[in-house]
């Protein structure tokens, strides 16, 4: 809604109140908590339909059930409101109009609101025949138009609480429907985008669980752990409970599930073997952490412990260069619509193309890793554009050979549109005290850049 110019008044209620006439903002001198201003808010919210007197009377306190006194207070508030309207820089016209028993903010200008737009979407969503792609679009439009809490400055007012709960409930419904659509199709990037926005708007509603689920599905385990830690502190502090524990517990249980007891050691030994042992071992990031720590401890008794390899693809999505996305689009045959003929693609479309291209190149890089690493090596997806590999028992010369193969195989695989950065350092155990946070790969090793093999660094295909 922001940035658009409307022919008439436009008011925003979600996330905070603002009123504009075309491109000009109207500043209200009195505080929103005053009754005359709340009258104004109700009239603007009612728009072309107008508000009944009983709706406005409900805002006036009725002391001792004295209806005559309540009515006098009502007229007094209306008088103050009309006096306030005269002081505002409003376009010429009639304001605070009474017509056929209903009150209107104005009858001379169009009045549009963010919640009015959402009301229109709700009306369409209530029609059960709207299914499939049409319903999905309505839900997406609602989520994009939903700007947060209804009049947060008036959170203690009863009518504000009722209205806010109504629009927030529909926001949750639309999110859940989109979540169902996207999860069935495996579109976890879209789920992550929606749940991230919802977590910002309503941090205590537990939408971080969907963020964590999406990050785990995308193999971005480090980010999932970070979201979990931050959300845990927030939810424990605000609610005294953490609904995300169930999500992480379920993930860890699934990742480390063991079979039921076996009748002999032979049966147990057979269950531990992997089906395909002819390639480098791929595992989740938590399993990679465990493997790294075991190798680091074993290295205390051995001279050779191994090397840690970080492979990073520098793409338009991570570097912020939109021109690379255009080159990738032309090379791959992807097409997107332009806003107008001859204009550049929209930013979100450009990023969608870059993200798609990045995932395609990450699959290419995975194939290169499988072909270049040894069967004794371990690797994992560390982030959206990075792989981590543990070169078990490798020394400096072994590392140089592996990096040479990686560079050669990356060129041979056609990796020319994205730059591959390679960084290597020795595996080292640490006996130093650490803080309360869980130790990760970076904190278990020396800082990146302290140890590099000859011939590594940036390379362009």
**Across residues 104-122, what is the average pLDDT?**
93
> How many helices (DSSP H) and strands (DSSP E) are in the chain?
17, 13
pTM comes to: 0.56
Q: Specify whether the CB–CB gap between 252 and 244 falls below 8 A.
A: no
Q: Specify whether the CB–CB gap between 227 and 237 falls below 8 A.
A: no
Angle among Cα 127, 131, 134 to the nearest 5 degrees reads: 95
Q: pLDDT by residue (tens digit) across 265-305? A: 555 555 556 656 678 888 877 778 888 888 887 766 666 67
Question: How do 9-12 and 419-426 pair as beta strands?
Answer: unpaired
CA gap 329, 386 in Å, rounded: 22
Residue 98's DSSP bridge partners are 103
Q: Taking Cα atoms as reference points, which of 71, 78, 111, 75 lies closest to residue 93?
A: 111
Position 249 confidence tier, pLDDT thresholds 50, 70, 90: low
Q: pLDDT by residue (tens digit) across 5-42? A: 567 899 999 999 999 998 889 988 788 888 999 999 99
**Roughly what angle, to the nearest 10 degrees, separates helices 158-185 and 114-125?**
50
CA gap 278, 387 in Å, rounded: 20
Question: How do 24-26 and 102-106 pair as beta strands?
Answer: unpaired
Looking at residue 358, its pLDDT comes to: 83
């Amino acid at each position: 809604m922001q940035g658009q110019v409307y022919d008439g008044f436009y008011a925003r209620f979600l996330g905070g109140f603002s009123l504009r006439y075309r491109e000009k903002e109207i500043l209200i001198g009195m505080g929103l908590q005053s009754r005359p201003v709340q009258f104004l808010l109700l009239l603007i919210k009612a728009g072309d339909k107008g508000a009944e007197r009983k709706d406005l009377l409900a805002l006036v306190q009725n002391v001792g059930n004295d209806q005559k006194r309540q009515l006098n207070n009502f007229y007094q508030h209306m008088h103050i409101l009309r006096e306030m309207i005269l002081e505002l820089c409003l376009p010429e016209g009639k304001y605070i109009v009474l017509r056929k028993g209903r009150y209107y903010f104005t009858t001379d200008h169009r009045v549009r609101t963010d919640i009015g737009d959402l009301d229109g979407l709700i009306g369409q969503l209530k029609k059960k025949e709207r299914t499939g792609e049409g319903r999905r679009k309505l839900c997406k439009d609602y989520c994009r138009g939903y700007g947060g809490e209804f009049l947060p400055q008036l959170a203690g007012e009863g009518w504000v609480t009722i209205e806010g709960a109504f629009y927030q409930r529909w926001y949750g419904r639309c999110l859940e429907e989109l979540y169902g659509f996207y999860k069935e199709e495996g579109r976890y990037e879209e789920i992550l985008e929606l749940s991230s926005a919802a977590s910002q708007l309503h941090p205590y509603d537990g939408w971080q669980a969907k963020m964590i689920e999406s990050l785990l599905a995308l193999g971005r385990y480090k980010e999932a752990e970070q979201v979990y830690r931050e959300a845990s502190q927030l939810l424990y502090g605000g609610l005294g409970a953490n609904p995300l524990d169930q999500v992480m517990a379920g993930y860890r249980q699934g990742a480390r599930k063991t079979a039921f007891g076996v009748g002999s050691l032979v049966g147990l030994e057979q269950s531990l073997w992997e089906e395909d042992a002819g390639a480098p071992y791929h595992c989740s990031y938590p399993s990679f952490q465990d493997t790294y720590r075991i190798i680091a401890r074993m290295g205390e008794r051995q001279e050779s412990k191994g090397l840690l390899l970080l492979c990073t693809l520098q793409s338009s999505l991570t570097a912020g260069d939109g021109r690379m996305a255009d080159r990738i689009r032309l090379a791959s045959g992807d097409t997107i619509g332009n806003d107008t003929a001859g204009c550049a693609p929209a930013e979100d479309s450009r990023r969608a193309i870059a993200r798609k291209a990045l995932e395609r190149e990450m699959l290419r890089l995975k194939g290169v890793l499988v072909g270049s690493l040894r069967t004794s090596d371990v690797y994992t997806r560390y982030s959206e554009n990075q792989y981590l590999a543990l070169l078990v028992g490798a020394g400096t010369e072994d590392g140089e050979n592996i990096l040479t193969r990686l560079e050669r195989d990356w060129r041979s695989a056609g990796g020319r549109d994205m730059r591959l950065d390679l960084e290597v350092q020795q595996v080292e155990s640490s006996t130093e005290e650490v803080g309360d946070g869980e130790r990760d790969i970076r904190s278990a090793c020396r800082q990146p850049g302290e140890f590099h093999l000859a011939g590594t660094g940036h390379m362009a295909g």
